Amino acid sequence: DQQVKQNSPSLSVQEGRISILNCDYTNSMFDYFLWYKKYPAEGPTFLISISSIKDKNEDGRFTVFLNKSAKHLSLHIVPSQPGDSAVYFCAASGAGGGADGLTFGKGTHLIIQP
């Protein structure tokens, strides 16, 4: 039973345009959502996170939107650059009151075309 779903295995976007990556979740207890970026042969790298009490968080070219009623979040990258080509993972954590593990989606491979 997948609690975090990324339904698009891959996405191709032209350089300079907006990339929108989507993520759905089923567990209403999740209180933080995170996006990670992963290059081949490397570990995931943290990009941006959002608390469940917010609906938007922005950091430079990256913005995450959260729609709690729809249990949906999205990552917007504007403008897209060639270095953004990677696999992006959506992750969520529960109300553990402390350290707890992340539940990951299966990732979306973003390809930025020149």
How many residues interact with another protein (rule CB under 8 A)?
A: 24
Region binding another protein by CB under 8 A among candidate stretches 15-23, 65-73, 75-83, 97-105: 97-105
What is the rounded distance in angstroms from the CA atom of residue 71 to the CA atom of residue 54? 13
For CA atoms 99, 53, 46, 29, the dihedral sign is positive
State yes or no: residue 62 binds another protein (CB under 8 A).
no
What is the rounded distance in angstroms from the CA atom of residue 106 to the CA atom of residue 108? 7
| Residues 15-44 interacting with another protein (rule: CB under 8 A) | 32, 34, 36, 41-44
Instruction: Indicate the residue among 17 and 56 with the shorter CB distance to another protein.
Output: 56
User: Which residue in the set 18, 46, 78, 81 belongs to the binding site for another protein (CB under 8 A)?
Assistant: 46
State yes or no: residue 106 binds another protein (CB under 8 A).
yes
Q: What residue ranges bind another protein (CB under 8 A)?
A: 32, 34, 36, 41-46, 49-51, 89, 93, 98-107
